[in-house]
Structure formats: C-alpha cells, structure tokens
Amino acid sequence: MKIKYFCVVLLAFWIALLTSCVTINIYFPAAAAEKAADKIIEEVWQLDQKEED
C-alpha cells in the first residue's frame, strides 16, 4: 500500500514539474522602444562625427 501511495505522489510530482515550465514574455511599449533606439542611433552618429574631426 505504501509503494502504491509513493508512486501516485511521485507521478503527481513529475506531472507538476513538467507542467510548471513557463515562458515569460515582456512587452515594451513601442513608443519607448523607438525613443531608446533613436537615442542610441544619435549617440553612435555623434561618436562617428567625433572620430572624423
């Protein structure tokens, strides 16, 4: 009887473990991402202009 109970608990544990895999998606607001990209591009262009001088 103890072995059967142990097998059921073990099976439940493995099922819980396998189904607990979760993917976390983080969504950024498009406007904020675009603003950050523009800022990075401006910084890169400023570095290029300084190197040319």
Q: How many helices (H) and strands (E) does the chain have?
A: 2, 0
Give how many domains the chain has, as a whole number: 1
Q: What is the number of alpha carbons within 13 Å of residue 14 lying toward its C-beta?
A: 6
Specify the pLDDT at position 32: 87
Beta-carbon contacts of residue 44 (< 8 Å; ≥ 6 apart):
none
**In this predicted model, what pLDDT tens digit does every residue of 3-53 receive, in sequence order?**
898 999 999 999 888 888 776 777 778 888 899 999 999 988 887 676 666
39, two tokens: 């800022």
Range of the domain at 35: 2-52
